[in-house]
Structure 1
């Protein structure tokens, strides 16, 4: 009985230590590092296929951007961006391209982490819908034994973002530095 009680106390103590670290830094940092290791390269490579030529190419998307984001519209206009109406199609593609470049960077650095994570969740949902309905990807189903389907993959992609929504970026995020800076400004004496 005494051994069981001691073991239970040790397990509880370990759980308390883990929980305190999870809440202060491990949860946010861990989720951001998982995102950086798994999804940042994917989104960076994908984003690099979208800009047009020149330094302002991000605001003048190339044919690949239209083919990926709005394939039916791109096909209807022979993949010629100049033939596609600016409103709403160019705006949609520019917004998607900007989001694909900026949101992953903000998440990895921990800048506006909760808002960035929420935006990235929305982006992944829209991306999944485009993949299923515009590109014909198989949506799959939960508990179907196929972890390669869109639904299973994107659920795994979204989970670290949900952790960031719940915990924030953690101690080692730029958010924390910004919070300290703003706090010092408020309480600084003139």
Structure 2
């Protein structure tokens, strides 16, 4: 039994030694493969018409972000406040920029933290703004046999992946690492 444990420990010691560089890269890869296009498509539905659509949210943006407030004004965006406009614009930009920064590995820890906050707000809006809390299949449940609940199940995996990036950073193959090497090497080159 000691030999088996020794073999196990040696084999996985090698894996663990390389995991520091591999885990963040894998987390960014999984994020890119599963969530990048999801968030970009969602953000695209929030863009207004024309060249300056990124400053003029679509009616879909208000319907998604402020469903009850938008309904209360008869779906007339002109009756919403500057606050509603600012949140819709900032949310749209965040939905484009934060995933891009994560995939590139630039400002990864802050971007991952921002995405965790974004997902929290998104989930609360889905549950309370869109009424998902009334539907058990939307909320889901942990420790049940169904892993497909939109909020508790799926988004827990999203947040876990982002938490890995927030804690570990982007890894060696990232713009964060290149920037760090560049800035760290700059004082030495000046000597």
Q: How many residues align?
A: 185
Which of the residues 3, 7, 14 maps onto 2:4?
Answer: 7
Q: TM-score, normalised by structure 1?
A: 0.91
Residue 118 of structure 2 corresponds to residue 123 of structure 1: yes
Q: CA RMSD in A?
A: 1.4
Deviation at 1:157, TM superposition (A): 1.1
Partners of 1:89 and 1:178 in 2: CA distance: 36
* Corresponding position of 1:187: 188
Structure 1: which 5+ residue stretches go unaligned? none
TM value normalised by structure 2: 0.91
CA deviation string 1:131-170 (max 9, x = no partner) = 0001111323211333222111110111111111221111
Question: Is 2:73 aligned against 1:77?
Answer: yes
Q: Does residue 48 of structure 2 align to residue 49 of structure 1? A: no
- Secondary structure at 2:187's aligned position in 1? helix
- Give secondary structure in 2 for the equivalent of 1:170: coil
**Larger RCO: 1 or 2 (CA < 8 Å, sep 6+):** 1
4+ residue runs over 6 A deviation: none
2:58 pairs with 55, 62, 82, which one? Answer: 62
Structure 2 Cα separation of the partners of residues 139 and 133 of structure 1: 11
- Deviation per CA, 1:57-110: give whole Å up to 9, x if none: 111101000000011111122323223211x11111111111111111111111
Please say if 1:154 is aligned against 2:155. yes
